[in-house]
Every structure is written in structure tokens, then in C-alpha cells.
Amino acid sequence: MKVVVLGPPPKRPAQRPGLGLSVDGHHWLLLDAAGAVPDALEPASRDEPIAVVLTDARADRASGLLSLRDGRPIDLYATPAVFEQLTVELPVLPVLQHYCDVHWRLVAVAGDAQLARFRIDAWPTLDFTAVALDAGHGTGAGDAIALVVRDAASGHQLFYAPALDSAATLPADWMDDSDCVVVGGDCRLWREGPAAALPPPWIGALLDARAARKVLLQPPAACHCADVPAARAIEIAYGGMEIEL
């Protein structure tokens, strides 16, 4: 399984990147659609759907959907809450549907359902688990999720949560069981606090994770993580970064 960090567009350096995921180096699945999607990661055939899994409805994770409006169908995997937000509050989907067919594939994290497992036909060796990260404001699950991707062929597992700071309860067990952890969140308070300040809980979970690779997903222009101790093997993601699992 190959993972590529998709950097933010040059004119929006503060935007968080997303990920491209492949098992053969030719067919790609997008984990969030951040910024313009490189041509190299798009399907070779115009009849082949572009598959995108969204972890939330924030603009810096969904804006790249509009760069896919060239007429190819899009298989969009999202929770009911994210689909509603992108239809009403940030109406990306109504605009996108003027250009191409958008097929909503349900990620069933909603209400009391905190976990949902699903498959994507084009990637039969990959098993996906969506884990609710909602902060508990009485709105139910589904506003934000983490993704756990397990490759049945290799046995390797990826944990991806670009909004880990929104989690009411940190999914530490899922992080510990993964070979690579890629997470993001707002860590400015850690930098701005006194030198002895403890890191926010989500950073602490990253530091404590037993994964072989731990990657902090931050936009280059807004990275406030200079205090992340290099000795704890935390890598700062950058556009074009490749991870082999």
C-alpha cells in the first residue's frame, strides 16, 4: 500500500493536505479532496469513477472536489452529516453535480453508530473502518471521522485523522494497532504556552502511539509544531511525501 501526501495549492499554503492511496501505484483513492488533485492520481479512463472518502466537511478537505468537475463520475464516500453539510451549509455538491455524476456511498456513522466498516469495489484487498471523532455537542456521530485502512494482502494498517483534535475520546487503540499514523489538528496552544506546558491530548496520543511511523499533517504556512521532539520519531508531512506500507 502506497500513501502520497497531496500538498495544498500554492495560493492557499495554509490549507491542510489530503492523501492519495494506492495498492498498485496506478489506481488511486483520495482520502479527502484538498486543493487541486494532481493528474497523475486521476483515473486513466474517463469512464472510471474517481473515488473520494471524506473525513469531514471542512472547506480545506472538500474544496478539491471542484477540481474533479471534468465530467468523470465521482464515487463519494461520506457520512450523512458530511453529505448534508456539503449540500446545504457549504453547497459544493449541488455545484459539482452540474458538471458530473456524484454517487454518494454511505459511511454509516450516525446517531449512536460510532463505527462503520465498508469496502470499495475497485480496491478489494482494502478494508475500511470509519471511527467517529465528534466532540459531543448533542448532534450525534458523523461530523468528523478517522479512517482505518487495512490491506488484507500485506496485513499493514493506516490510521488517518486530519481532525484528531475534534475527538471527544481519542481512538488510541486504533492508533496503536496501525503501522502508520497520519493525524492533524490545531497545536498552536502548545507552542504559545510556557516551555513546560503539556501537549494537547491529541498530540500526546500521537507521541504515545506504538506505530512504526507517526506523521503530523500540518500546512507548511501554519505549522506551529517546532516543539515536537524529533527523538519521538514524529515526521512533519509535506506535499509529495511518500509512505510505503
- How many angstroms separate the Cα of 219 from the Cα of each of 87, 112, 142, 156, 178? 26, 33, 24, 26, 23
pLDDT in tens, 29-71: 999 987 656 665 666 556 677 899 999 988 777 777 887 877 6
Dihedral through CA 217, CA 214, CA 200, CA 111, nearest 10? 70
In the block, residue with C-alpha cell 481519542:
170
pLDDT above 60 for 20: yes
Query: CATH second-level architecture of 2-244?
Result: 4-Layer Sandwich (3.60)
Residues 76 and 103: beta-carbon distance below 8 Å: yes
Is the confidence at residue 14, as pLDDT, over 90? no
pTM for this predicted structure? 0.88
C-alpha cell at 22: 494506492
pLDDT(192) > 50: no
Cα–Cα distance measured from residue 160 to residue 182, given in angstroms and rounded to the nearest whole number:
5
Going by pLDDT thresholds of 50, 70 and 90, the confidence category of residue 154 is: very high
